[in-house]
């Protein structure tokens, strides 16, 4: 059974029989985990093992684990700083900022791989325009070249730990005030003005970025559909102009920014038709089931091949990781950077 185009979530810390049934549906392809799915390192490791054991090839297991406000797993994991901390370090010393970003990318990815998680939806490539509260300090910097530089080093750290990176939120969420979880933001800038926001994505595509998540934002002077449902953005700009060959993941179809596209099956079909390889349906299991049953077309073989490259590599036990000099150094250095309260934020 190949990987399907739908990523689902779970209710709690162990699989239910209903969830097992949904995850063996031929259109299922992955699971995204949240804080509610985490109780302890041992429990999480077993949960991921069970998910992976359900079918072959194994389902993808993902999480939003950026650091700062967006860190799903807490007790036992290193408390990671927000991306803006690396931008601040970069402004003081470019080389040190790059070094810290690479170390943080490795630390985040190594800890997740030690419990079996395949990848994190990171790094954020949005610019810190000072407009968007939902982005805020999740962005590395205001300067697109600095964002690209730091993100490149962060991705290199992730790759060293055996994890592929997913940049978000194409073509840039930082220029709108509204939160797409709660409303449909409209960016009224010209295509020329949007170039600065797109630049980090362009650079990262050249550096070999494996995945991209588009924004539930309308860029009305370019196209009237939200980017994640727009072939103009996904096929025309991302695939054709930028030459991106990796996976395109939709943002959560449950967000308010997706409601304009109809019911859940309509949203999923629209996103896939526009160019997404995998769609996320979170916090509504009954709607996830509807989406699975509504997708009649056979998965695109090209999408299946792209998704297969998102499986985590390497991966050592938690004990082996924490005994290593590399982890102990990274934990001490990166842990000392964090000075912000850890809060839950759905992304």
Q: Enumerate the active-site residues.
A: 181, 251
Strand order in the sheet with 278-281: 119-120, 60-63, 28-33, 6-8, 278-281, 247-252, 211-214, 166-170
Phi then psi dihedrals of residue 186, to 5 deg: -125, 120
| Helix extents (H) in 184-236 | 191-206, 231
| Helix extents (H) in the chain | 17-23, 41-53, 84-92, 94-114, 144-160, 191-206, 231, 264-274, 285-294, 301-308, 318-323, 325-335
Distance CA 301, CA 305 (A): 6
Q: Is the dihedral of CA 154, 162, 242, 194 positive or negative?
A: negative
Backbone conformation region of residue 172, classed left if phi is above 0, alpha if psi is from -120 to 50, else beta: left
Could you tell me which of 127, 131, 133, 129 has the C-alpha nearest to residue 168? Answer: 127
Indicate the helix (H) or strand (E) that contains 33: strand 28-33
Per DSSP, 222 falls in state T
């Amino acid at each position: 059974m190949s990987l399907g185009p739908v990523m689902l979530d779970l209710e709690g810390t162990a699989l239910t029989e209903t969830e097992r049934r949904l995850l063996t549906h031929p259109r299922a392809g992955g699971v995204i985990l949240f804080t509610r799915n985490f109780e302890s390192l041992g429990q999480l490791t077993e949960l991921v093992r069970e998910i992976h054991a359900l079918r072959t090839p194994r389902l993808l297991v993902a999480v939003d684990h950026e650091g700062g406000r967006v860190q799903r797993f807490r007790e036992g994991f290193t408390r990671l700083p927000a991306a803006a901390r690396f931008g601040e370090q970069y402004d003081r010393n470019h080389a040190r900022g790059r070094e810290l970003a690479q170390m943080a990318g490795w630390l985040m990815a190594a800890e997740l791989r030690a419990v079996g998680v395949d990848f994190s939806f990171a790094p954020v490539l949005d610019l810190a325009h000072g407009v968007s509260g939902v982005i805020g300090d999740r962005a590395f910097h205001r300067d697109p070249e600095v964002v690209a530089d730091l993100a490149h080093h962060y991705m290199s750290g992730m790759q060293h730990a055996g994890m592929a990176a997913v940049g978000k939120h194409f073509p840039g969420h930082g220029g709108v005030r509204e939160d797409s979880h709660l409303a449909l933001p409209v960016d009224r800038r010209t295509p020329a003005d949007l170039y600065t926001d797109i630049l980090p994505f362009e650079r990262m595509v050249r550096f070999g970025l494996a995945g991209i998540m588009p924004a539930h934002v309308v860029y009305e002077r370019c196209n009237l559909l939200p980017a994640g449902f727009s072939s103009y953005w996904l096929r025309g700009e991302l695939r054709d102009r930028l030459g991106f060959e990796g996976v395109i993941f939709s943002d959560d179809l449950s967000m308010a920014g997706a409601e304009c596209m109809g019911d859940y099956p309509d949203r999923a079909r629209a996103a896939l038709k526009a160019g997404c390889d995998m769609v996320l349906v979170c916090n509504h299991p009954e709607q996830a089931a509807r989406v699975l049953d509504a997708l009649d077309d056979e998965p695109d073989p090209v999408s299946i091949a792209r998704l297969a490259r998102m499986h985590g590599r390497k991966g050592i036990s938690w004990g082996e990781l924490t005994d290593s000099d590399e982890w102990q150094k990274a934990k001490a250095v990166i842990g000392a950077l964090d000075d912000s309260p850890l809060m839950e934020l759905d992304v």
